[in-house]
Amino acid sequence: MKKPFQVLLNLFPRPFLIRISLLLKPVLLLLYKGNTYKDPIDGKTFSKFLPYGYEKKRSNVLSPSTLSLERHRLLWLYLQNKTEFFSKAQKVLHFAPEQAFYKRFKSLNHLDYTTTDLNSPIADVKADICHLPFETNTYDTVICNHVLEHIKDDTKALEEIYRVLKPKGMAILQIPQDLTRKKTFEDDSITGQKERAKIFGQYDHLRVYGLDFFDKLSSIGFEVTAVDLTAELSDKEIDYYRLQKGELIPIGFKPS
C-alpha cells in the first residue's frame, strides 16, 4: 500500500505536495506508525520515513508528518539546541517559508516573524531576493534555506541579506553543497531539464556549491561559521532523526 505514496512523492514537486499534505497526513501517519525514527520538529515517531529525490532517490528521508527532509530536521535541532531562537524576542525574516516551520514559527509570540518570496502562496511579502523592500539593519535573524541555488545573481541576493540584517544578526544560509568540491560549479550551456537534474540535483538548480561558498560569504562581509551539528551526535541519534552525517549549516553573522 505504501508504493502509490512513494510514486506520488517522487513524481510531484514539494510545493504541490505541501498543498495536498493535509489530505495525505492522516493516511501517512497510520501507514508509517511506529517508534523507529523520530521527527524532532513535531516529536512524532514512525516505523519508517518516505523516500524522496528527483534524479537520485534517497530512501527513508521524508517525514510522514511534517514532510521535512534531512536539512529541515538538522536546522530545527540547531535552532533548538544552539541558539535562543525559541526563547529570545527578535525580528525574523524567512525566505521561501517551509511548511514544516511556517505555522510553528508564526505561533511563537516572542518572534516578529515575516516571510517573503516571489511566488510562495504563504509569503507575507512578495519580493525579489535581489531587491528587497526592507530597511537596512532590520532583522536579528534571516533564514534562507535552499534558495540561493535557484537565484541567478546569488551575490546580489547575499548582499541584500547582509544589508537587511542587523549588526550582530545571524543569517542561516543552507544550500545544497558538495563538500568534495573546492569550487562551485555552474554551466548555463546545459539546458535540458533531465541533464540539469542529473548534474545539479534538480532541473531548476543553477549551480552545485562547493567549499568556496564560505569564502563567498566572507567576501560579502559575513563572519562565517560552518556548523556540523552531526559531529556532536552519535550515529544512533543521526539515524534516529534521519539526518545526513557531516552536513554543514552555513551561518553568517553581521559584524557589530
pLDDT digits (tens, 9 = 90+) for 161-186: 999 999 999 999 999 999 999 999 88
Domains and CATH numbers, the chain: 3-68 (no CATH), 71-253 (3.40.50.150)
Q: What is the pLDDT of residue 155?
A: 98
The residue assigned the cell 512524532 is: 44
Q: Where residue 52 falls among pLDDT bands split at 50, 70, 90? A: confident
DSSP H or E segment with residue 224? strand 223-227
Q: What is the pLDDT of residue 2?
A: 47
Q: What is the pLDDT of residue 15?
A: 58
Q: What is the pLDDT of residue 157?
A: 98
Strands (E) in 17-149, as ranges, are 33-38, 45-46, 50-52, 58-62, 90-95, 111-117, 125-126, 139-143
> What crossing angle do the helices spanning 154-164 and 213-220 adopt, rounded to 10°?
50
Q: Where residue 1 falls among pLDDT bands split at 50, 70, 90? A: very low
User: Which CA distances in Å does 62 have to 39, 70, 137, 146, 174?
Assistant: 10, 8, 36, 16, 18
